[in-house]
């Protein structure tokens, strides 16, 4: 792994020893969205949900204070493309931080806007790795119905195909969230996407209780069974190279692939009977910035706000080093906090010594 904007030694030391700077952030750039999914955590009924988004100027200031180890930002929402200045926001991260990659989570309802974003950003920085996570959870009609958006499924496929043609640095991937709505039809959905629509980059996540969404208890077993089937199918097809989520010729690609497999195994063990497996590094290697500029360790601990950027001169690292963050990190470790939140699990795996032998073996093609 060659880092272009920071030193590899510094980043590895931060990941495995110091754990004082974020290596990945999820930035909710807006709460606005043109869809209305039944499982969404956003409270669309509350008029305050959409107010006081960070301005571009505030984001410029915030990105100037993100430490020297940041490798990735995930621009999400709401629907991030609801912000007309999303290209400018991404450029602020590229100019002011050490990121190597940008991840954009989108409902893909606006294919042309996504395409222009990809063109502009790769023109601006031809080395940046751009991944677009396109959410598709069901067969065409049901997908449109659950998300309450006409023609959405077709727009998702169009977005995927447009991006797929755009070059090696641009990676569209379809992400299926297994929920109480689709768990009975997961095989049909996967096969339709993979065989009929020709999608060859597919990931999956497990729906979480978050915000206003709560999983119906009687559906949890079925949700887990569907998730087990889907992750096994993706794993098998990754081995036969029918599904290519990462570049298996690069060390980084093989590392990520192994990290996904380890994360699926952990989630399967924790979903029905929550249990602690290894320490979570939310609040140290990983964090969240809300659309209004509040900083959290993760999406789940909504009552553990670490600080408000607007009350801290937009200085993220000031919040990351404050007493509240130190206390929250201690709480996370002491309480053996655990959950199935995939983003945080990724940094749990990357930041723990116990997983290093398996990751190293995968990186070096020894397993």
Write out the residues near ligand SF4 by the rule CB under 6 A: 33, 35-37, 40, 42, 77-79, 107, 147, 280, 282, 297-298, 300-301, 332, 337-339, 341, 344
Rg (CA), the chain: 19
- Please name the residue ranges forming H helices in 40-182: 56-63, 86-96, 111-124, 140-147, 152-164
User: Whole-number minimum distance, CB 33 to ligand SF4, in Å?
Assistant: 3
User: Are 8 and 2 contacting, i.e. CB atoms less than 8 angstroms apart?
Assistant: yes
Cβ closest to ligand SF4, residue 39 vs residue 246: 39
* 17 Cβ contact partners less than 8 Å away, ≥ 6 residues apart: none
The angle formed by the CA atoms of residues 271, 225 and 147, to the nearest 5 degrees, is: 85
User: Are 106 and 150 contacting, i.e. CB atoms less than 8 angstroms apart?
Assistant: no
User: Whole-number minimum distance, CB 306 to ligand SF4, in Å?
Assistant: 12
Dist CA 253 CA 60 (whole Å): 30
Cβ closest to ligand SF4, residue 91 vs residue 147: 147
Cβ closest to ligand SF4, residue 233 vs residue 351: 351
* Closest C-alpha among 115, 106, 132 to residue 32: 106
Cβ closest to ligand SF4, residue 186 vs residue 344: 344
User: Whole-number minimum distance, CB 159 to ligand SF4, in Å?
Assistant: 13
User: Are 31 and 54 contacting, i.e. CB atoms less than 8 angstroms apart?
Assistant: no
Dist CA 102 CA 113 (whole Å): 16
* Closest C-alpha among 38, 14, 32 to residue 24: 14
User: Whole-number minimum distance, CB 240 to ligand SF4, in Å?
Assistant: 31
Cβ closest to ligand SF4, residue 288 vs residue 359: 288
User: Whole-number minimum distance, CB 32 to ligand SF4, in Å?
Assistant: 9
Residue labelled with tokens 């974003």? 117
User: Whole-number minimum distance, CB 281 to ligand SF4, in Å?
Assistant: 8
Cβ closest to ligand SF4, residue 81 vs residue 93: 81
């Amino acid at each position: 792994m060659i880092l272009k904007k920071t030193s590899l030694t510094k980043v590895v030391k931060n990941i495995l020893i110091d754990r004082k700077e974020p290596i990945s952030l999820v930035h909710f750039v807006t709460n606005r969205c043109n869809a209305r999914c039944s499982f969404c955590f956003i409270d669309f009924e509350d008029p305050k949900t959409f107010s006081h988004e960070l301005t571009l100027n505030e984001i410029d200031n915030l990105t100037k204070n993100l430490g020297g180890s940041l490798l990735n930002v995930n621009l999400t929402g709401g629907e991030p493309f609801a912000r007309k200045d999303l290209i400018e926001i991404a450029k602020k991260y590229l100019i002011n931080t050490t990121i190597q990659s940008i991840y954009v989570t989108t409902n893909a309802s606006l294919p042309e806007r996504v395409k222009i974003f990809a063109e502009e950003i790769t023109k601006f920085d031809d080395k940046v790795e751009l991944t677009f996570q396109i959410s598709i959870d069901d067969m065409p009609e049901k997908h449109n119905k659950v998300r309450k958006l006409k023609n959405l499924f077709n727009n998702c496929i169009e977005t995927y195909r447009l991006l797929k043609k755009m070059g090696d640095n641009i990676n569209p991937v379809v992400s299926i969230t297994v929920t109480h709505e689709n768990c009975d039809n997961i095989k049909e959905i996967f096969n339709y996407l993979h065989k009929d629509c020709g999608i060859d980059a597919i990931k999956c996540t497990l729906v979480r209780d978050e915000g206003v969404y709560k999983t119906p208890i009687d559906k949890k077993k079925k949700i887990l069974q569907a998730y087990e089937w889907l992750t096994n199918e993706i794993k098998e097809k990754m081995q036969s190279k029918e599904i290519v989520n990462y570049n298996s010729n690069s060390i980084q690609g093989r590392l990520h692939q192994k990290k996904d497999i380890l994360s699926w195994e952990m989630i399967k063990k924790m979903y029905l009977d929550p249990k602690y497996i290894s320490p979570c590094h939310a609040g140290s290697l990983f964090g969240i910035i809300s659309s209004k500029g509040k900083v959290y360790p993760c999406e789940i601990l909504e009552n553990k706000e670490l600080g408000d950027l607007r009350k801290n001169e937009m200085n993220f690292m000031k919040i990351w080093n404050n007493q509240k963050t130190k206390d929250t990190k201690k709480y996370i470790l002491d309480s053996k906090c655990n959950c199935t939140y995939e983003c945080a699990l990724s940094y749990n795996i990357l930041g723990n010594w116990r997983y290093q032998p398996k990751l190293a073996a995968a990186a070096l093609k020894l397993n």
